[in-house]
Amino acid sequence: MTGTAMNIDKRKETENLLRQQSEQQRLIMDMTQRIRESLLAIAAEAFLLINWKQYLGDFSKSMLLMPAIKVVLG
């Protein structure tokens, strides 16, 4: 093989390697984004569940006070 042919082969190998690395990086970025979105959704659900429990607690407390409120308001 001549020097020029070897240089062309080496350049093609380098281009293929860069293409593979670029594809791997893109896949990792996509996976990272999906993980972030999933974690955000989990955090949002947890927030809603915590607040829902708080709301139910406040509601049940107010329901326990209803007889006393009726007595006071007569």
At residue 38, the pLDDT reads 92
| Token code pair at residue 58 | 């406040």
Backbone CA torsion sign across 44, 47, 53, 59 = negative
- Predicted local confidence at residue 60, as pLDDT: 64
Task: Give the pLDDT confidence score for residue 48 in this predicted structure.
Answer: 83
Instruction: Identify the top-confidence range among 2-6, 52-56, 60-64.
Output: 2-6
Global confidence as pTM: 0.56
DSSP per position, 21-74 = HHHHHHHHHHHHHHHHHHHHHHHHHHHHHHHHHHHHHHHHHHHHHHHHHHHHH-
pLDDT of residue 72: 58
The structure tokens 């955090």 sit at 43
